[in-house]
Amino acid sequence: MSRNASMTEPRLAPNAITVLERRYLKRDKDGNVLETPASMFRRVASAIAEADGIFDPGADTKKTEDRFYNMMTSLEFMPNSPTLMNAGRELGQLSACFVLPVGDSMEEIFDAVKYTALIHKSGGGTGFSFSRLRPARDVVKSTTGVSSGPISFMRVFDVATETIKQGGTRRGANMGILRVDHPDIMDFIMCKADKRQLNNFNISVGVTEAFMEAVKKDEDYELVNPRNGEVTGVLNARKVFARIVHQAWENGEPGIIFLDRLNRDNPTPHVGVIESTNPCGEQPLLPYESCNLGSINLGMMVKNGAIDWKRLGETVHLAVHFLDNVVEVNRYPLEQIARMTMGNRKIGLGVMGWADMLILLGIPYDTDEAVELGGKVMKFISDVGREASRKLAETRGPFPNFPGSVFEERGEPPIRNATVTTIAPTGTISIIADASSGVEPLFAVSYVRQVMDNDILVEVHPIFERMARERGFYSPELMQLIARHGSLREIEDVPPDIKRLFVTAHDISPEMHIRMQAAFQEYTDNAVSKTVNFANGAAEDDVRTVYELAWKLGCKGVTIYRDGSRERQVLSTGRTPESEERSAEGVRRVKRERPKVLKGWTYQMQTGCGPLYITINEDESGLFELFTTMGKAGGCAASQCEAIGRMVSLAWRSGIHARQVIRQLQGISCHSPAGFGDNKVLSCADAVAKAIQAHMSANGYGSVREERALLRGACPDCGGIVEHEGGCAVCRACGYTECS
């Protein structure tokens, strides 16, 4: 069916509908959903098509609207989340990625904090380089005092981010980058060793080519004070690199960004220098620049066991048209951002469903054939995407900063967009499209989803389920067994050729992860967001090898995650160690042992049964146990409160999220409530929930911080499995994500 012929009704998976209803569809002031998925896609298509009329008053915008609508409802292409959420609505902010400058003065720093608040309020995420800030203990002439350094100011941004509410649809996320030659680099590398710090930040070290050469030769390199350009000391490059590797092995951060490579591919060096990226690292941007992203679903580009190159090419052309229109109709949160973005008109067309495409073609992900094909597919998308952008330039003109750009210097034809391609972590849009994420392999063939009435559902990859039924080895029991393992590696009842085809992230060697990233990076204007997964038992040398290989193969950055390295991870795939317990749902619970000494706080709550004293104790990992004491000794209320305390303690020690505990207890009412308004306590159980909330607020947890801490392993909303991709994490069971 031609996109121009008739309208496509979206055929969405149950998970896709759930995600749309929870996070995307328009609601009234009472939270009632006002639109269907089809009407959401129509709203977006109509708003984006209107840009055609700006360039050609006689344009048939209805025809363009229909083409955009069919492209999305057929699940061939999805724009980034802010476009789906906000196009055609009052907010109208359609960008996901922003970079803000942080200058070396109090005024510039707090201007950046204010701008961050405005961007996060509008639904975007922000990247910063803190490399311009003078180091800690450096002189401040205006006050004759000393500087507190970049890390202390990062905490200001972190607290501001945690405070900002984004209308319940998207939470703020930040990228913090510091150059490897900044005098505070060692403190920066260690700044997230304390897992209570900077939880609204991903951090990456800005690595230079000179530093990597010094690592290779085991040489020292110079540290430079950005205030005056003076050398303040030297460090051994190999020792600094070893510290980066150790911390990444320890908890996944910092990542590394190859700054010189970002600027090597900077299309407008005459406009500015690239210092930072967006929160997941795939979009290098100039200060005050934003970018609009979208992804083509490669799984939809296979026909009769072969790639449908014609369909792919048509989709690329239409997607570039769509994204250029987004640049035009976007309502930018700051005038500086509007000016910079419109000057370069960067777009980032990427892909999702790469693992699905390989499966449909019968090619295992971890093969030379797959790597070679990845480069071929991305080269095709890049070539056709630039062709589409140049075609737009013929009627709409090139991007305003084209004079003086690298394109003009090379004598190339005018082009509409300074960059065309980016491979982003597709997160929730891949759930909507029922596709694998970005260029990642499958994280699991089957997984468990817990729905609101606590029923346990087993979700199976649709292609695997179809093949299992066709080959005659499908059974609900087998699907549950696979969900508990995630991988097919140790499942005896699955044929060997199917096992080989459906390899998962932890079946694939870290080197193959990097080779695949490099294959796509070669033909991507911006960068490739991808996570290199390591088994829990991986050594630091394994991480070092991958970092060095990423540099050698031309990647622009690298993010790694070692399974279980975040201490609060409570769910993973693979074999369960002897010391751990696995529930019937396949969730791995590790009960923490009680240390001899704990710190605690006691809260008095007034209930209908009298005063209730609630003591909350913490260990190094966070909330650990809860005790209750009734002001009136004995009785039914006291015994019930003691039981609640025991169960809450067991839940916390076993890795259950505090938010889940609060959700179960709050709002329970009894015959004798106490208090009025916001201070009203409905029951003893409600009092316990309110005390936990008060404790979390008073001790710097905050909803975002606490959610992020647990998100490393199991989803705090549904308990589902969490996938790590490109420095972010997403639950495919319900769409929860830690990044904006």
Domain residue ranges in the chain: 14-93+291-431, 97-277, 441-590+717-731, 599-699
pLDDT: is 81 or 457 the higher one? Answer: 81
* CA dist list (Å): 730 to 351, 439, 588: 17, 15, 18
Which residues touch 634 (CB under 8 Å, ≥6 apart)?
none
Q: What is the mean pLDDT of residues 76-80?
A: 97
Q: Report which of residues 20 and 590 the model is more confident about.
A: 20
Domain 97-277: CATH architecture, name and number where available: Alpha-Beta Barrel (3.20)
Q: Which CATH class is domain 14-93+291-431?
A: alpha beta
- Angle (deg, nearest 10), helices 702-711 and 150-163: 100
Q: Which residues contact 739 (CB under 8 A, 6 or more apart)?
A: 125, 173, 202, 279, 280, 425, 427, 727, 728, 729
Say if CB 102 and CB 130 are below 8 A apart. yes
pLDDT in tens, 191-248: 998 877 888 899 999 999 999 999 999 999 999 999 999 999 999 999 999 999 999 9
Q: Rounded to whole angstroms, how far apart are CA atoms 471 and 458?
A: 20
pLDDT for 583:
42
Can 280 be counted among the known catalytic residues?
A: yes
Q: Are strands 599-607 and 302-303 parallel, antiparallel or unpaired?
A: unpaired
User: How far is Cα 415 from Cα 397, in angstroms, rounded to an integer?
Assistant: 8
Tell me if 345 sits within 8 A of 323, measured CB to CB: no
Cα separation, 404 vs 77, whole angstroms: 33
Among residues 280, 641, 684, 715, which one is catalytic?
Answer: 280
Q: What is the DSSP string of 397-446?
A: ---TT-TTSHHHHTTPPP-S-S--B-B---HHHHHHTT---TTPPBS-SE
Q: How many CB atoms are closer than 10 A to CB 250?
A: 17
Question: CB-based contacts of 110: which residues, under 8 Å, 6+ apart?
Answer: none
Asked if the model's pLDDT at residue 157 lies above 80, the reply is: yes
- Can you tell me the mean pLDDT for 569-596? 47
Task: Name the pLDDT band for 169 (thresholds 50, 70, 90).
Answer: very low
Q: Long-range CB contacts (< 8 A, 24+ apart) of 455-464? A: 456/584, 456/585, 458/483, 459/15, 459/483, 459/732, 459/733, 461/502, 462/13, 462/434, 463/356, 463/359, 463/360, 464/498, 464/502
Maximum separation of any 2 CA atoms in the chain, in Å: 87
Q: Quick one: average pLDDT of 694-701? A: 77
Residue 716, preceding bond cis, omega within 30 degrees? no
Which pLDDT score, from 0 to 100, does residue 257 have?
97
The burial of 677, by beta-carbon neighbours within 10 Å (0-12 exposed, 13-18 middle, 19 or more buried), is given as: exposed
User: Is the pLDDT assigned to residue 580 strictly greater than 90?
Assistant: no
What does the alpha-carbon distance between residue 84 and residue 293 come to, in Å, rounded to a whole number?
11
What are all long-range contacts of 311-318, with beta carbons under 8 Å and residues at least 24 apart?
Answer: 311/76, 312/377, 312/380, 312/381, 312/384, 313/380, 313/384, 315/71, 315/76, 315/77, 316/349, 316/381, 316/384, 316/385, 316/388, 317/384, 317/387, 317/388, 317/391, 318/3, 318/67, 318/68, 318/71, 318/77
The reported pLDDT for the residue numbered 358 is 98
Instruction: Give 236-248 as a 3 state SS string.
Output: EHHHHHHHHHHHH
For the segment 108-131, the average pLDDT, to the nearest whole number, is 93
Q: How many CA atoms lie within 13 A of 436 on its CB side?
A: 29
Q: What share of the chain in percent tops pLDDT 70?
A: 88
pLDDT at residue 518 in the model:
98
In the predicted model, is pLDDT for residue 703 greater than 70? Answer: no
| Integer CA distances (angstroms), 321 to 27, 51, 61, 67, 162, in order | 29, 10, 12, 11, 36
278 catalytic? Reply is yes
Residue 558 to residue 581: CA distance in whole angstroms: 33
Residue 737: Cβ-neighbour burial (10 angstroms; 0-12, 13-18, 19+): buried
Active-site hit among 282, 289, 459, 625: 282
Q: What is the pLDDT of residue 677?
A: 62
What pLDDT band is residue 449 in, cutting at 50, 70 and 90?
low
Q: Is pLDDT at 588 greater than 70 in this prediction?
A: no
pLDDT tens digits for 513-532? Answer: 999 999 999 999 999 999 99
Nearest Cα neighbor of 560 from 730, 725, 355, 354 is: 725
- C-alpha triplet 175, 160, 20: angle, nearest 5°: 70
Which of the residue ranges 3-12, 374-383, 547-556, 723-732 would you say has the lowest mean pLDDT? Answer: 3-12
Residue 732: per-residue pLDDT: 73
CB 658 within 8 A of CB 696: yes
Query: Who has greater pLDDT, 724 or 515?
Result: 515
- Structure tokens belonging to residue 182: 């900044």
The per-residue pLDDT for 526 is: 97
Is 4 designated active site? no
* Active-site entry in 70, 174, 199, 278: 278
- The mean per-residue pLDDT over the stretch 80-86 comes to 94
Percent of all residues in the chain with a pLDDT value above 90, rounded to a whole number: 63
Listing DSSP states for 149-215 in one string gives -HHHHHHHHHHHHHH---TTT----EEEEEETTSTTHHHHHTTTSSTTS-TTEEEEEEE-HHHHHHH
For tokens 């309502």, the residue is 331
Whether the pLDDT of residue 553 is over 80: the answer is: yes
Average pLDDT over residues 656-666: 83
Alpha carbon distance 412, 289 (integer Å) = 24
- How confident is the model over 29-42, as pLDDT tens digits? 888 999 999 999 99
State the helix-helix crossing angle for 540-552 and 510-521, rounded to 10 degrees: 20
- pLDDT at position 326 is 98
Note the pLDDT tens digit of each residue in 354-410. 999 999 999 999 999 999 999 999 999 999 999 999 999 999 999 999 999 999 999
Question: Average pLDDT, whole number, for the chain?
Answer: 87
Classify residue 306 as exposed, middle or buried by CB count within 10 Å of its CB (0-12, 13-18, 19+).
Answer: exposed
Q: Give pLDDT, residue 579.
A: 36
- Residue 170: predicted pLDDT: 55
* Whole-prediction pTM: 0.81
- Residue 729: band (very low, low, confident or very high) from pLDDT cuts 50, 70, 90: confident
Whether 171 and 704 have beta carbons less than 8 Å apart is answered as: yes
716 vs 69 pLDDT, higher one: 69
Matching CATH topology for 14-93+291-431 and 97-277?
yes
626: left (phi over 0), alpha (psi -120 to 50) or beta: beta
